[in-house]
Every structure is written in structure tokens, then in C-alpha cells.
Amino acid sequence: MIVELSHFALALALALTLGGAGLSAYGAVRRDGAAMAGGRAAVLASAAVFVLSFLGLIVAFAGSDFSVVAVADNSHSDKPLVYKIAAAWGHHEGSMLLWCAMMALYGAVPALNAARGRVDALHAARVLSAHGVSTALFAAFLVFTSNPFERVLPAPADGRGLNPLLQDPALAAHPPMLYAGYIGFSIVFAHAVAGLWAGRIDRDWARMVRPWALFSWIALTVGIALGSFWAYYELGWGGWWAWDPVENASLAPWLLGAALIHTVLVTARRGAMTGWTTLLAILTFSMSVLGTFLVRSGVLTSVHAFANDPARGAVLLVILAVLTGGALALYAVRAPMIAAEADHRPVSRESALVLNNFAMALACFALLLGTMYPLFVSGVSVGPPFFNLVIGAIVLPALLVAPIGPFLAWRKGDGAAALRWAVPGLAVAAAAGLLAAFVAARGTVVAALALALGVWLLAGALTDPVRRAGIFSKGAGRGLKRLAGLPLSTWASSAAHGGLGLLLIGAVGAGAWQTRLEEVVPVGGSIELAGRTATLERVVQVRGPNYVADRAVVRYDDETLEPERRYYPAGRTPTTEIALKRDAGGQAYIALGDPRGGGVLISASYFPLVDWIYIGGGLMALGGVLGWVAARREAGRRAPA
Amino acid sequence: MIALLVALTLALAPPDERLDDPALEARAEAITEGLRCLVCEGQGVNDSNAEFARDVRVFVRERIAAGDTDEEIREALRVRFGDVIFQRPPLRPDTALLWFGPLLAAAIAAVALARRKKPAGAAGLSDRERARLEDLERETH
């Protein structure tokens, strides 16, 4: 019954979404306050109904109702409850329902803000029209091609189970976080369309958009980090980024989003770069949809083996074309109307941000080119060597300038003073690079340069608050007081840039300086890993809630590590459950393979500095949060009456 | 007895995936590092437990042990599997766009950026006038 009600709710939500979009558009064209209010009400109702429908799906999954096809195909009665629930978005239909519910929920925010008089009702109506059309397209896709509530008769006795690899806390949270980011950009997109519609893209517009752009970018950062963390410890070889098509699909909107959060600042502060900011606002959401298309259509082979369907992919492609094409056509018509440039000198904050945007957009282009090239030219692979080289070369200038950008004033910066402030950081970075190249003498020249770059980003991030507070010029006491009084936005950029530096340092450590051994070890045998001995004491059989496993008992240093190889009867392939031992320098990483020739295959690795990848990613997200808080305050202060 | 011991040692030795000479092993790793596992969807030959990946790892080591040069081994892989085995796409007429596309895009973007029309309104003002204008704008906000 709940399933039928939820299915009905889905259809109702689609109707309400269409109604909300139509009423809002009518109200916006006719300046009809009642129609706008009706549109807002319909948007709020559609959000509520979508959420109810999604809750209905969760109930079906939690109760293991195998008469529902999606449950039978993707869940199993022996799974822990949390993974039964997570399975609700662990497959195509459910994840599209989550997408729509989230999208409708986000649409409710501008509707509520307008209802409370916090934002201009006319602008909100335009936003809700554009957003309503986008939501309706996805809702129609869901209702007509991907019904999550389809029944099967007779119901199977048990389900086919969720892919065991996906039964993991980080991965349960990974899709909702990614979606929170992707879909956040739909609000940014809707603001862009609304601004173009009104012919008004200005500082006020940018102040409204900035919190959404930051919010979406933060969610995307966390979502990508969770996925990367999962790949690191679950797939069994310690890789955290493989330039896999699906990873690239999530990185594309992240890169454009990173460009957007910088350029929207220029628009908010200086009223400049309006056209480019608008284009980015449109294209970042396009990248999100393109990413979904690439993942869902199965056109690209990837480790993310989802249930794919080319026909569905074609529909998503149409949605992408309609949304992007429509918005870009509107942009082409309105571009002269919204053009606004404020002059700036070659050495200025603006110039640094232009360089950032240039690099991020170009990196996104190269990423897509490399990811999609094998679709058009057969017989080639585009793998990590291509992306490391090309994307690395593209972002290099931007990373070099990133620490100096905040040293420069808007409009006209003092280049000489900025360089003086850069000297300590550059010196430390050069020393670190030389140390890595000659003393540690591991890895390549490129690794040493990348390490130096990471240290430079980190040092620059530390320098900026010191410089702004005037700790050296104003005396320590007054300086510290000023330090505490620095605006949040300073800490935001410092945290984000410093986090990026740490990530780079961790990547060099875990990548270039890693030790990886793979050996067949008999019981009682041992491996020398990073100056310590790992001894295989025994291999035992254990039984989990829904799997059986071989568990190796490995004595490493003073500790017992127990990597497992799990066999899920409901799944087909065994999964590895690696064991980690963290020390000050990095992580020892031990994975158990198949029994082979008188022993078991043990893969033992040491990844120096690997924690800094995730600490750095977390710090970037924290920087985003600080920027988001600052942007919200700014938007609230200057909200148009 | 010795024969038995030797047989036992051989049985316990790691699969033929590792060469005893560190220099040769380093060469082997450098080659396999750049190879894609063609049956595993997005993984490298070094990162996969698949039979295919193992076979390729063993093949490369056999050829190194037989005295082939790196280039000969890569050529043998190319003949057998095609360019698709290499993670780094070779420069061919039909991959020129892949390798030079980003450069081309950068050039186009740079030209567009350089030729961008300067704003008419505030262009003729001096810095001081412009700053004053901005102050006025700010006050009227």
C-alpha cells in the first residue's frame, strides 16, 4: 500500500512541479503576485510530496519488500538495516528519486525566502520557473523511464543483494553528498537564467548566488573525498584517484565550481566579469548533468559498474541539451545587456582570479576531452599518464599564483610588496623541494616539484593572515588582536588554499614515495615493509552477518592486523577488507589475496603522508564552509528590500 | 633430498611476477605501470588481480629475462593488443586533437581575453576619478 501511495506521490509531485513552474512563469511575466504566491505554494507542496515518496521507498527497502523490483534487485534480507536503507539510493531508480526529491527540496528554499519577504518575489518567481522546468524534466525522466516502485509478481523469496563493495559507511554517504553538490548547482543555474531573463546580473545577483555556489562546491568536495577514501581502503590496492571516467565526471563540475566560487566573488565585490560568471553558473550545472549522464548511460566503461541503460542515457542527453542549450541561447540574446567590466591593472586580485578561472576551465576541458576521447576514437586508452601530465601542466600556473592572489588588492595590487611577502614561503618551498630531490632521493623530479608546490601553497596560506594582521609591522600584541579580528573570508581562502597544499603533499608522499610489495607468504612467513616486519601468524575462517571470510592474522611491529577476504553468498566476487596501521609518517596497508601455491597472496604497502590527502580535502571543505558563512552574512546584509 | 628442497623452494617462491634482479624488476614495473588491464574497466595492469593483468605482468618479465629491450617489449604488446593497452595514448593523426586540443583551447581563450572590448563607460577616467566613481556608487547602494 505504501508503495502504491509513494508511486502515486511521484506522479503527483511531477504535476505539482509542472504547476509550480507554470504559475511562477505566468506570475513573473504578468507581474501577478497571486500567481507567484500560487507558484511558491506548488513548489513547496511538490517538495513535500517528493520527500514523502522517497520516504516510502526507504520504508520498502527497510522492510525488505521484495515484491518491489528495485528492492528485489538491490537488497537482501540478511543485510544490516543501515545498508538496507542505503540500498534505496544504491541503484539507478532510487538514486534518481533521491535526485528529484533533493532538487525539489532545494527549490523550496527560494520559495520560502520569497514568501518571508527575504528576497524579491519577482526574482524568486523567475528562479522557480527555471528551476521548476529543470526539476520537471528530471521528474518526468524518473516517472516515465525509471519507476522505482515497480512491482514483481510473484515476489521472490529473497533479494539479489547490494554489491558487497558498496556496503560501506563512506559509500552509503557518498552519493547523497555528491548529489547535494550537483543539485545545488541547479539553483545557481536557475539564478543565472532568472538574471538573464531580467537582464540584470550585478553585485546583488552575485551576492545571492555566492552562498549556493559555495554550498554546492563544499558538498561536492566532501562527496568526492568520501568516494576517494572508499576507493583507497575498499578496493584493496590503496589507490585514491585513478582518473576513472566516473571520477572524472564528478571532478568536472568540481573544477568549474571552483572557478565559479572565485569569479562570483569578483562580481559580488567589483560588479565585474558578469558575463563569464553567468556562463560558469550555467555550465557548472551542465557538467553535473553530464556527469550523471556519463555514469547512468554506461557509455564509458568504469570501475563503477552500475546498472546501465543506453536508452535512459539518451533521455538524459536530451535533458542536458535542452537545459544547456536553452540557457546558452538566452545568454547569447542577453549578453550585451548584462556586460559590465570594471577596469583593473595587470597586477591585481582580479588578474589572479582570471588566471585561476582560465586554468580551472581549461583543466575541465582537458578532463572531458580525455575522458570522452575513447568514445570517438577507438583503439586508444586515455589513462593517468595523460591526465597527470596535461591537467598538471594546466593548473601549474594557477597553483603558483594562488598564494599571491590574496596578497594583492582589488583593482591595482602592489606587486613588489606581494613578492616580498612571498619570499619566506618560496624559500621554505624550495628547501622542501631540494630536500625531497637530494636527501630523500625518492621519486622523480616531478614529485619534488609537486612537493615544493604543495609547501608553497601551505606557506602562502599561513602568510596571508600574518600579513593582514600586521604582526611584524604593528607589534606582536596588537598584531594578535588584529589576527583574531580578521574577516572570515581571509580564513576561508587560507584554509582552502592550505588544504590544497596539504592534499598535494599527501599525494606526492602516497604516490611517489609509496612502497608496494606483493608476495605469496606461507603461514609463519614474513615480509619486510618500511623497515618493519609483518609476519603471517595464521589464516582463520570467520562468519559475518551476511558473509564468510578468510581472515589473516598478521603481526606487524607490536600490533596484530587482521585483513580479510570476504565472500558474500548474495554477491559473486570476493571483497577485500584491508588492515591499516597508522604511524607518524604514514600508513601501512595490508590486503589479503587468494590462497596460492603453499601460502596466501599478501599485498603489503606503505603510503607515506597519505592522511594529509584527507586532512587537506577536509580543510578545503572547511575553507568553503567559512566562505559560505561569510557569503551568507553578506547576502543577508545587502539583500534588496 | 636437495632436489626435493629445490622443488619446495620453487613451489614457495612468489609467482613469476617478480624478478630477482632489482634493476630488471624496476624496468618491468616501469613498463607494466603504463599498461591498462583490458578486461577490468579502468584499472591498470599493476592494480588488478585479474588473470589478464597477471598474464601481462608475467609476459613482460619473461621478455625482460629473455633480454628484450623495453622498446621491443612495448612493440610486442602493441602488436598483440594494439595501442589500447597503453595508459598514455600515443601521438597519432587521430589523437592529435586529444594532445593539442587543450593547447588550442588555451590559445583561443587567450586571444578572446586579449581582444575583449574594454568597457566604454569608465575607460576614459583616471584611477582617481574611477575610485571616486566607485565611492559614489557604493554610497548610492
Question: What is the rounded average pLDDT for all residues in chain B?
Answer: 78
Q: Which residue has the cell 581563450?
A: B109
Q: Is the pLDDT of residue A505 over 90?
A: yes
Q: Is the pLDDT of residue A578 over 80?
A: yes
Average pLDDT over residues B46-73: 87
Closest partner CB to B123 (pick from A237, A305, A343): A343
Shortest CA distance to A505 belongs to which of A425, A427, A463, A449? A449
Size of interface A-B (CB pairs under 8 A): 123
Residue A621, C-alpha cell as written in the block: 571543505
Residue A61, C-alpha cell as written in the block: 527497502
Give the whole-angstrom CA distance, residue A483 versus residue A490: 10
pLDDT at A343: 80
What confidence category does residue A572 fall into, taking pLDDT thresholds of 50, 70 and 90?
Answer: low
Pairing of strands A515-521, A579-583: unpaired
Closest partner CB to A381 (pick from B18, B89, B127): B89
Q: Which residue has the cell 604497502?
A: A605
Give the whole-angstrom CA distance, residue A354 versus residue A223: 27
Q: Which residue has the cell 592474522?
A: A553
Average pLDDT over residues A336-347: 81
Distance of CA A316 to the CA centre of its chain: 20
CA distances from B85 to A210, A247, A381 (A): 44, 21, 7
Give the whole-angstrom CA distance, residue A617 versus residue A255: 14
- The distance between the two most distant Cα atoms of chain B, rounded to a whole number of Å, is 99
Q: Is the pLDDT of residue A299 over 80?
A: no
pLDDT at A397: 92
Q: In chain A, positions 336-355, which contact chain B (CB-CB < 8 Å)?
A: 339-343, 354
Per-residue pLDDT tens for B75-131? 999 999 999 999 999 999 999 999 999 999 999 988 988 877 554 444 555 666 767
Residue A48, C-alpha cell as written in the block: 513535500
Average pLDDT over residues A96-118: 94
pLDDT at A137: 96
CA quadruple B99, A390, A216, A103: dihedral positive or negative?
positive
Interchain proximity B41–A303, CB inside 8 Å: yes
Instruction: Provide φ and ψ at B18, rounded to 5°.
Output: -135, 130
Give the whole-angstrom CA distance, residue A127 versus residue B40: 44
Residues in chain A with CB shorter than 8 Å from the CB of B49 are 236, 593-594
Is residue A526 helix, strand or coil? strand
Asked if omega into A385 is within 30° of 0 (cis), the reply is no
- Report whether A260 contacts A353 (CB < 8 A): no
Q: Which residue has the cell 609467482?
A: B15
What confidence category does residue A12 fall into, taking pLDDT thresholds of 50, 70 and 90?
Answer: very high
Give the whole-angstrom CA distance, residue A493 versus residue A338: 28
Q: Is the pLDDT of residue A191 over 60?
A: yes
Q: In chain B, positions 110-139, which contact chain A (CB-CB < 8 Å)?
A: 110, 113, 116, 118-119, 122-123, 127, 130, 134
Per-residue pLDDT tens for A110-139? 999 999 988 899 999 999 999 999 999 999
Say how many residues make up chain A. 641
Give the whole-angstrom CA distance, residue A447 versus residue A440: 11
Interchain proximity B122–A343, CB inside 8 Å: yes
Q: Which of A122-131, A532-541, B58-67 has the highest mean pLDDT?
A: A122-131
CB atoms within 10 A of CB A389: 14
Closest partner CB to A366 (pick from B41, B102, B109): B102
Shortest CA distance to A561 belongs to which of A594, A545, A546, A583? A583
Q: Mutate which of B29, B88, B103, B135 to test chain A, going by most A C-beta atoms within 10 A? A: B88
pLDDT at A302: 52
Residues in chain A with CB shorter than 8 Å from the CB of B22 are none
Pairing of strands A599-608, A559-561: unpaired
Helix or strand holding residue A126 (H, E): helix A121-145
What confidence category does residue A215 fall into, taking pLDDT thresholds of 50, 70 and 90?
Answer: very high
pLDDT at B30: 86
Residues in chain A with CB shorter than 8 Å from the CB of B99 are 390
Its pTM stands at 0.90
Residue A559, C-alpha cell as written in the block: 600490533
Q: Which residue has the cell 538566452?
A: A330
Give percent of chain A above pLDDT 70: 96
Give the whole-angstrom CA distance, residue A210 versus residue A212: 5
Q: Mutate which of B20, B47, B103 to test chain A, going by most A C-beta atoms within 10 A? A: B47
Q: ipTM strictly over 0.85?
A: no
What confidence category does residue B7 fall into, taking pLDDT thresholds of 50, 70 and 90?
Answer: very low
pLDDT at A531: 85
Which residues 6+ apart lie within 8 Å of A364 measured at CB? A252, A255, A256, A259, A287
Distance of CA A253 to the CA centre of its chain: 8
Give the whole-angstrom CA distance, residue B130 versus residue B121: 10
Q: How far apart are the first and last CA of chain B?
A: 96
Average pLDDT over residues A189-195: 96
A156 touches chain B (CB under 8 A): no
CB atoms within 10 A of CB A227: 23
Closest partner CB to A342 (pick from B90, B113, B122): B122
Per-residue pLDDT tens for A469-503? 887 777 778 888 888 889 999 999 999 999 999 99
pLDDT higher at A252 or A310:
A252
Interchain proximity B105–A365, CB inside 8 Å: yes
CB atoms within 10 A of CB A27: 25
Shortest CA distance to A193 belongs to which of A327, A337, A18, A324? A327
| Closest approach of B20 to chain A, Cα-based (Å) | 13
pLDDT at A576: 85
Is residue A486 helix, strand or coil? coil
A375 touches chain B (CB under 8 A): no
- Report whether A20 contacts A46 (CB < 8 A): yes
pLDDT at A298: 67
What confidence category does residue A375 fall into, taking pLDDT thresholds of 50, 70 and 90?
Answer: confident
Q: Which residues pair with A76 in a beta bridge?
A: none
Q: In chain B, positions 5-44, which contact chain A (CB-CB < 8 Å)?
A: 11-15, 17-18, 34, 36, 40-44
Interchain proximity A381–B90, CB inside 8 Å: no
pLDDT at A630: 93
- Report whether A583 contacts A530 (CB < 8 A): no
For the purposes of burial, counting CB atoms within 10 Å of the CB of A147, is it exposed (0-12), middle (13-18) or buried (19 or more)? middle
Interchain proximity B90–A380, CB inside 8 Å: yes
Give the whole-angstrom CA distance, residue A40 versus residue B86: 54
DSSP structure class, residue A91:
S
Question: What is the rounded average pLDDT for all residues in chain A?
Answer: 89
Give exposure, A198-213, as e/b (b: 16+ Cβ within 10 Å): beebebbbbbbbbbbb
